[in-house]
Structure 1
Amino acid sequence: MNQDYIKADPWSIIEEDFENERVKSSESLFSIGNGAMGQRANFEENYSGDTFQGSYIAGVYYPDKTRVGWWKNGYPEYFAKVLNAPNWIGINITLNGTPLDLYTCQKVTSFRRELNMKEGWYKRSFVATTSNGLEVAVEVTRFLSLEYDEVGAIQYNLQILNSDAKAEVCPYLDSGIKNMDSNWDDKFWNTTKVSSEGNRAFIESHTMKTNFAICTFMQSELTVDGEKFEDFSTKEEEMMVGHAYAINLEKNQTLTLIKYGGYAVDRNHPTDGLKKAADVVLSKVSGLGFDVIFQKQKEDWAQIWEMSDITIAGDAKAQQGIRFNIFQLNQTYLGKDSRLNIGPKGFTGEKYGGSTYWDTEAYCLPFYMATKNQDVAWNLLKYRYNHLDRAIENAGKLGFDNGAALYPMVTMNGEECHNEWEITFEEIHRNGAIAFAVYNYHRFTGDYSYIPKMGLEVLVGIARFWHQRVNFSEEKQKYVMLGVTGPNEYENNVNNNWYSNYLAKWCIDYAVEQLNKVEKEYPEDYDRVLSKVKLTRKEIAEWTKVSGNMFFPYSEKHKVFLQQDGFLDKEMIKVNDLDKSERPINQKWSWDRILRSPYIKQADVLQGFYFFEDHFSQEELARHFDFYEPFTVHESSLSPCVHSIQAAKLGRMDQAYTFYLRTSRLDLDDYNKEVEEGLHITSMAGTWMSIVEGFGGMRVLDDQLCFTPQIPKQWESYSFRVNFRNQIVTIFVSSEGTSFEVTGNQDLNIKVNGEQVTLVPGEVIKI
């Protein structure tokens, strides 16, 4: 049974009633971020129960030495870990000498927490009876500023309802933290200085090995019934500093602590100027005050929603799901910094190392292209270009040469840092996703300039890799690809994975096509690139020989491409015939049993049909969908969205809706029983695709925006916006029909259900 304690609400994630066993799940679900940093929804006051403490800074990582039983040549030396950063949110509270701790309280009532997605804040309130009999009412509001993205703010209100009491309130900083996923329990941080000046405190520290320097800072202001209380004592330890306010609090008086905190990082400031940078930003936000920066937060989120919101009428859970996904994507990445990328867990947990995967190019790029301006998508592509030299190094470590590039499965700085051999060495389809993103960017934005400036070098490196990765089979008289793992990680070390082979052919053909285009239209860039990469006509001819004679496993009996050579040798028992107690198989079965089964973790052949939809007929899609979906367990977060899009294309709206609900509420309903580890950020972009590309049927065909709108029977209407080539198109779909509106100064020609339609600014066109 899936979790069901989150209340259905169109704009908020709401939990009522306190239960210790769901604290870690809620810490994930109520996480907050601002693109530069983020944190799990840990309690500010002490909590002695089971908790997963986590605060994270974008781009700051530690190279944790690989831990494997048997070292193999080519293994990455380390697994890059997003670091649990020094904690700035902590506020220790003692009442008559007893700590306020929800785990040890006699009773907790009126517990409520809310993540307000519309305005970008997190609030928690409760009434609790402490172990020494005091009845306490608490309300806490917290947010991470979008405007001042080094800073977060907390307003902590406390009342004692049944007695006077002596209260000690101690806001603090703590750098004595560690990662839950450390391989060797290494010390990740070195604290160099702890200091306090007035009502501000600072901890200066740096990461071991990577030597990122940060200054964690705080400033606190305390009032009782609106009157300032300025006396405190400083508590200073080797890795902690706090300001302890001792107050005789009368019954029903309201104690309010305002705490500003955050990080100044040497990625953005001179290393010797971090404390000064912290002082500057603290002066700025404290001068404005909590209410002013809180109001600015609401305005900034309103601006984000203006473009990225999807409205759904008549289905509260579906509405909540899509907004939760869009909200978390924007909390994770806003496109301001081309050095950053989108980790699969964002700022919500440590699993997967918090690094960059192929998810960015395959799933996230479409969302950011359509809901931001094209500069954001450009930055994502520039990120890969900046790492091209590392991709060539990565390939070299595996024995490839001549500038062949293998982009990493997992990375922080372009260097491969994933250490499961069947993925590190074999899940090479990630190269294809990066090449496809180059194509997809040009297709959607119409901006070709990236390819001659940067993309052509990337495409050449990728084509060289595929050319070297195949070998010629005398028996088949075809080029084959041995020992790979496709997106379906439940089949490792297989031969002729159809998706990987198809991508290899396409990447080579696309690289050659772009070389020809750049030669004709951008001769200076062409000469520069060829001189740099030392590419010859002879080498290009060798590539095309491979792409023109690639082997694709196929079943004449079923009239489908096969996942891999031996797929039909398996015991073909469908998922519906599995006992529910066996699910999820990744938690119930041995890996050996999984690998011998026909069960698919995520779309593999169908992923290829999604990328290259126009290469195949509707009949071929239906045949492959009907063959593979019954064997798919969807135990990857990336699976349901592709199936939802394809079910919609096939007109199977009930099935499309079911898959949509699963992808949109994957974390809210904890389908895979793992949300306490963090959220599935990158797959959330797939949820957006499920509506826009699935139900809305949005495509770019023949250089034109096209739609084939449908609506699930569970909905009254839905609407979304896309930024297509700097023109904002609003689409509203109901059972009565679809309306379109374009903003800007010029007409826009689109196609709706195959018919040409001209959108005129200021006019609503109804179909």
Structure 2
Amino acid sequence: MKNYIKHHEWNIIEEGFDPHVNQISESIFSIGNGRMGQRANFEEEYSGETLRGSYVAGVYYPDKTRVGWWKNGYPEYFAKVLNAPNWIGIHVSIDNQKLDLAKCKVEEFRRILNMRSGYLLRSFVATLGDGKKVKIESKRFCSMAHGEIGAIRYSITPINFTAKATLSIYVDADVVNKDSNYDEKFWEEVYKEASEGRAIVTAQTKKTFFHVTTGMTYTIESAGKKATFDRVNIEQREKFAGNVIQLDLEQDKETVVYKYAAILSSENHPKDKLVENCKSVLDEASSKGFDKLFEEHEKVWFHKWEECDITIEGDVAAQQGIRFNIFQLTQTYTGDDERLNIGPKGFTGEKYGGSTYWDTEAYCLPFYLATAEQQVARNLLVYRYKHLPKAIENAAKLGFTEGAALYPMVTMNGEECHNEWEITFEEIHRNGAIAYAIFDYVRYTGDEKYLTEYGLEVLIGISRFWAQRVNWSARKNQYVMLGVTGPNEYENNVNNNWYTNTIATWTLKYTLEAVDFVKKDDSQAYQNIVKKTKLKEEEETAKWRDIIDKMYYPEDKHQGVFLQQDGFLDKELLTVKDLRPEDRPLNQKWSWDRILRSCFIKQADVLQGLYFFEDNFDQETIRKNFDFYEPMTVHESSLSPCVHVILASKLGYKQKAYELYLRTARLDLDDYNNDTEDGLHITSMAGTWMSVIKGFGGLRVKDGRLHFNPYVPDQWKSYSFRLEFRGRVVKVKITTDGIETKLESGSPMEIVVKDEVVKIS
């Protein structure tokens, strides 16, 4: 665990330059706006260890799958969001000495991510090889008001010299992904141009042929006036265009470069209009200027914080942690485009390829349901509806028929692109998460029409998959599910994972309920769905009911626990306390063989099911299972702590809940898992929000009403949050004296606080 980030309510602060944590900081200080994102790389040249990262939403490359032993059904490729053209570059050379923090003496280094206003500020003093000292200050943002604009204010102040300087201001599409096979580059040049004050490069991705046009323009001021240059050289080479400027730097006089970038993709513009439209965006940015652009950007952030902020009194580290998580979630996904989704690393790194996982449905959806207008969450579900034909194709590749749908573990366009057999073929519980998200959305919003418009078709496809995936055990006289991997990926190819069996039958039940609802709500729409899906209602629903009635669930009645899978009790049952510190994390220290044979659990598995379906189990059942499984859980998935916080809070285990909350809230800020340098854990950040709202706040939605069963952690004085719920806005403050609720907008409503009905208006 690292501990170099200063605690502050609204800012993320790093003081002093340590190259050993630079890549971690590049992740932590990332900025974005839903359409693009940028790691906290330096504008100037840097020859030290760095992960260059600029990303454009929806643009990906199908990197060919390379495995040692090909298996039928494997996807042909792994989709990855690409490191996109570099728009931030401003290289500085003073008297032919490059400004490079890996080679200079660096003092007074300070990096600040201002979450309130959404910008990155960096300043330092560098001493060059000949003793010249220069002060640099950089402020940049990706505009939340104009999703295709990035802006930088880069100032240079000589401290002890007057000299000639050379600035290279450019855009560069000659970039590479760190995770590329054999250092392959994924971009090809389509077009470039450069003139004094402007440069534009259009590049296309190999295979997928996405076009991205990146343009830049700039102005330079000295002592508040437009600077004069000795000369401007046009610089062009393959996939690169820029200006090289020579100017005079005068001691103690600030020279400021205002750089404006426009990043446009063929996802949103006709390819033949990209350059023309890029020029229009650049003209708009430069005519408004840095301060006006920032003012518009800041207003959007102020509005966003009004919607989704959580305030904590009495614990600055916790306050910083929750705001950091909310900030990153908000700048990763805005909900404006139903073609987009949320990758586990968002726009902060390459790991996981930037693709969509079941994390969105299981962890992210509740955050957007409660903190944004309803359409934002709806778009996350529509994304999966539009991928239903691909889900049916994915299932067909594995031998399933008649419209059975298997949603991918990893995807960009609906097609499976994950190539580890124990995940691709066996971690099928992801299908249940898609179904649960539909239920969760309808339960929260009351938007039952979604079932008629989109939801039922998806549920039918998923239920057909489950009906074909189970098989009848004559020995048990029950249905079983063989050869699966549950949420705990430290167990592969097991039989009868309790969670998978449970979510499969739950999906079948919910599909039957949805069939009944749509049939009554809109009989003509129902007939259209029957025709479109070729549903054999009587035959198929009878099979679903039979599976529901006769499914096998492993359990140990002596201990009163559900078994994670058949044979789990054959393991040596140790606890995490039995592990030596040098054994952690297991996934970095142990062989896979040793992990698979151990009892240790990566993340909530049985407990994931108890979290989803808590109303089906009494308190004592939940307690016994929590007490049995949590001590064996190493929480080496970022998605694990939040589920345990919610269950621990429900059980009254307040200290355990808080301990795990800190782990999830500051997972990246303190680099708990030694992997933040790869990028942030964006989807698990939604789990942090759930830890506060569903864990400490005890929020549930039952019978169309908000229920609260709150408490205040001992380390806090109070906390407050805001919820959007069915056209209303409710402000909640929880103190040691009780709960205060205020209806900020919307019609009067009833809520339930600790089983007592309260009317607010």
Which residue number corresponds to residue 645 of structure 1? 646
**Which residue, out of 134, 158, 161, partners 1:160?**
158
CA shift for structure 1 position 501: 0.2
The letter for the 1-side match of 2:92 is: I
Query: How far apart are the structure 2 equivalents of 1:539 and 1:739?
Result: 49
Which residue number corresponds to residue 356 of structure 1? 356
Report if aligned partners of 1:345, 1:678 keep a CA contact under 8 Å in 2.
Answer: yes
Which residue number corresponds to residue 763 of structure 1? none
Which residue number corresponds to residue 130 of structure 2? 132
> Is it true that 1:19 corresponds to 2:18 in the alignment?
yes
The letter for the 1-side match of 2:56 is: I
Aligned residues: 758
Q: Which runs of 5+ in 1 are unaligned?
A: 761-767
Which residue number corresponds to residue 365 of structure 1? 365
The letter for the 2-side match of 1:304 is: K
46-55 or 227-236, larger mean C-alpha shift? 227-236
Report if aligned partners of 1:442, 1:448 keep a CA contact under 8 Å in 2.
Answer: yes
CA shift for structure 1 position 756: 0.6
**What SS does the corresponding residue of 2:23 show, helix, strand or coil?**
helix
The letter for the 1-side match of 2:66 is: R
- Aligned ranges 1:165-314 → 2 under 5 Å: 165-229=163-227, 231=229, 232-314=232-314
> Is it true that 1:598 corresponds to 2:610 in the alignment?
no
Q: What are the Cα deviations for residues 499-531 of structure 1, in whole angstroms up to 9, with x where unaligned?
A: 000011000111111101111221011100001
Q: What are the Cα deviations for residues 33-68 of structure 1, in whole angstroms up to 9, with x where unaligned?
A: 000000110000000001000000000000000011
Q: What are the Cα deviations for residues 646-692 of structure 1, in whole angstroms up to 9, with x where unaligned?
A: 11111111111111111000001111000000000000000000000
Change (3 A) 1:713 1:528: same
> Is it true that 1:607 corresponds to 2:608 in the alignment?
yes
> Is it true that 1:551 corresponds to 2:552 in the alignment?
yes
Query: How far apart are the structure 1 equivalents of 2:745 and 2:124?
Result: 49
The letter for the 1-side match of 2:16 is: D
Which residue number corresponds to residue 40 of structure 1? 39
CA shift for structure 1 position 745: 4.3
Query: How far apart are the structure 1 equivalents of 2:421 and 2:380?
Result: 27
**What SS does the corresponding residue of 1:181 show, helix, strand or coil?**
coil
Which residue number corresponds to residue 49 of structure 2? 50
Which residue number corresponds to residue 663 of structure 1? 664
Report if aligned partners of 1:169, 1:246 keep a CA contact under 8 Å in 2.
Answer: yes
**What SS does the corresponding residue of 2:226 show, helix, strand or coil?**
strand
Report if aligned partners of 2:338, 2:379 keep a CA contact under 8 Å in 1.
Answer: yes
Which residue number corresponds to residue 764 of structure 1? none
**Which residue, out of 106, 111, 135, partners 1:108?**
106
Report if aligned partners of 1:221, 1:230 keep a CA contact under 8 Å in 2.
Answer: no
CA shift for structure 1 position 571: 1.1
CA shift for structure 1 position 744: 2.4
Query: How far apart are the structure 2 equivalents of 1:738 and 1:503?
Result: 34
The letter for the 1-side match of 2:348 is: T
> Is it true that 1:423 corresponds to 2:445 in the alignment?
no
Which residue number corresponds to residue 456 of structure 2? 456
The letter for the 2-side match of 1:206 is: Q
- Aligned ranges 1:677-696 → 2 under 5 Å: 677-696=678-697
**What SS does the corresponding residue of 1:289 show, helix, strand or coil?**
helix
The letter for the 1-side match of 2:294 is: F
Change (3 A) 1:184 1:388: farther
**What SS does the corresponding residue of 1:552 show, helix, strand or coil?**
coil
Q: Which runs of 5+ in 2 are unaligned?
A: none
**What SS does the corresponding residue of 2:278 show, helix, strand or coil?**
helix
Query: How far apart are the structure 1 equivalents of 2:288 and 2:215?
Result: 18
Change (3 A) 1:407 1:329: same
The letter for the 1-side match of 2:507 is: C
Which residue number corresponds to residue 149 of structure 2? 151
Query: How far apart are the structure 2 equivalents of 1:605 and 1:674?
Result: 26
Query: How far apart are the structure 2 equivalents of 1:230 and 1:719?
Result: 53
Which residue number corresponds to residue 4 of structure 2? 5
448-457 or 743-752, larger mean C-alpha shift? 743-752
**What SS does the corresponding residue of 1:757 show, helix, strand or coil?**
strand
Query: How far apart are the structure 1 equivalents of 2:46 and 2:130?
Result: 16
**What SS does the corresponding residue of 1:548 show, helix, strand or coil?**
helix
Report if aligned partners of 2:194, 2:235 keep a CA contact under 8 Å in 1.
Answer: no
**What SS does the corresponding residue of 2:623 show, helix, strand or coil?**
helix
Report if aligned partners of 1:66, 1:183 keep a CA contact under 8 Å in 2.
Answer: no
Query: How far apart are the structure 2 equivalents of 1:204 and 1:405?
Result: 38
Query: How far apart are the structure 1 equivalents of 2:182 and 2:477?
Result: 49
CA shift for structure 1 position 280: 0.9
Query: How far apart are the structure 1 equivalents of 2:257 and 2:465?
Result: 58
Q: What are the Cα deviations for residues 207-230 of structure 1, in whole angstroms up to 9, with x where unaligned?
A: 111110111110011111122135
**What SS does the corresponding residue of 1:147 show, helix, strand or coil?**
coil
Which residue number corresponds to residue 480 of structure 2? 480
The letter for the 1-side match of 2:91 is: N
**What SS does the corresponding residue of 2:183 show, helix, strand or coil?**
coil
**What SS does the corresponding residue of 1:7 show, helix, strand or coil?**
coil
Query: How far apart are the structure 2 equivalents of 1:654 and 1:3?
Result: 23
Query: How far apart are the structure 2 equivalents of 1:753 and 1:351?
Result: 42
Q: What are the Cα deviations for residues 103-132 of structure 1, in whole angstroms up to 9, with x where unaligned?
A: 000x21110000000000000000110122
Report if aligned partners of 1:135, 1:162 keep a CA contact under 8 Å in 2.
Answer: yes
Q: What are the Cα deviations for residues 2-47 of structure 1, in whole angstroms up to 9, with x where unaligned?
A: 1000000000110000111111000000000000000110000000
198-207 or 580-589, larger mean C-alpha shift? 198-207
Query: How far apart are the structure 2 equivalents of 1:538 and 1:406?
Result: 21
Query: How far apart are the structure 2 equivalents of 1:82 and 1:336?
Result: 19
Which residue number corresponds to residue 728 of structure 2? 727
Query: How far apart are the structure 1 equivalents of 2:645 and 2:262?
Result: 40
Query: How far apart are the structure 1 equivalents of 2:642 and 2:159?
Result: 49
**What SS does the corresponding residue of 1:262 show, helix, strand or coil?**
strand
> Is it true that 1:64 corresponds to 2:63 in the alignment?
yes
Which residue number corresponds to residue 78 of structure 1? 77
**What SS does the corresponding residue of 2:361 show, helix, strand or coil?**
helix
The letter for the 2-side match of 1:437 is: A
Report if aligned partners of 2:235, 2:241 keep a CA contact under 8 Å in 1.
Answer: yes
Report if aligned partners of 2:218, 2:286 keep a CA contact under 8 Å in 1.
Answer: no
Query: How far apart are the structure 1 equivalents of 2:746 and 2:644?
Result: 38
**What SS does the corresponding residue of 2:689 show, helix, strand or coil?**
helix
Query: How far apart are the structure 1 equivalents of 2:520 and 2:741?
Result: 38
Report if aligned partners of 1:666, 1:672 keep a CA contact under 8 Å in 2.
Answer: yes
741-750 or 366-375, larger mean C-alpha shift? 741-750
Query: How far apart are the structure 1 equivalents of 2:496 and 2:246?
Result: 70
Report if aligned partners of 2:30, 2:348 keep a CA contact under 8 Å in 1.
Answer: yes
- Aligned ranges 1:613-628 → 2 under 5 Å: 613-628=614-629
CA shift for structure 1 position 401: 0.4
Report if aligned partners of 2:191, 2:203 keep a CA contact under 8 Å in 1.
Answer: yes
Query: How far apart are the structure 2 equivalents of 1:711 and 1:512?
Result: 40
In the superposition, the TM-score normalised over structure 2's length comes to 0.99
Which residue number corresponds to residue 589 of structure 2? 588
Report if aligned partners of 2:203, 2:239 keep a CA contact under 8 Å in 1.
Answer: no
Query: How far apart are the structure 2 equivalents of 1:701 and 1:264?
Result: 44
Query: Percentage identity across aligned positions?
Result: 57
CA shift for structure 1 position 184: 4.2
Which residue number corresponds to residue 765 of structure 1? none
Q: What are the Cα deviations for residues 599-625 of structure 1, in whole angstroms up to 9, with x where unaligned?
A: 100000000011101011111111110
**What SS does the corresponding residue of 1:6 show, helix, strand or coil?**
coil
Report if aligned partners of 2:228, 2:247 keep a CA contact under 8 Å in 1.
Answer: no
Query: How far apart are the structure 2 equivalents of 1:121 and 1:66?
Result: 38
**What SS does the corresponding residue of 1:8 show, helix, strand or coil?**
coil
**What SS does the corresponding residue of 1:338 show, helix, strand or coil?**
coil
> Is it true that 1:516 corresponds to 2:523 in the alignment?
no
**What SS does the corresponding residue of 1:401 show, helix, strand or coil?**
coil
Which residue number corresponds to residue 502 of structure 2? 502
The letter for the 1-side match of 2:315 is: D
CA shift for structure 1 position 308: 0.2
Query: How far apart are the structure 2 equivalents of 1:655 and 1:499?
Result: 23
In the superposition, the TM-score normalised over structure 1's length comes to 0.98
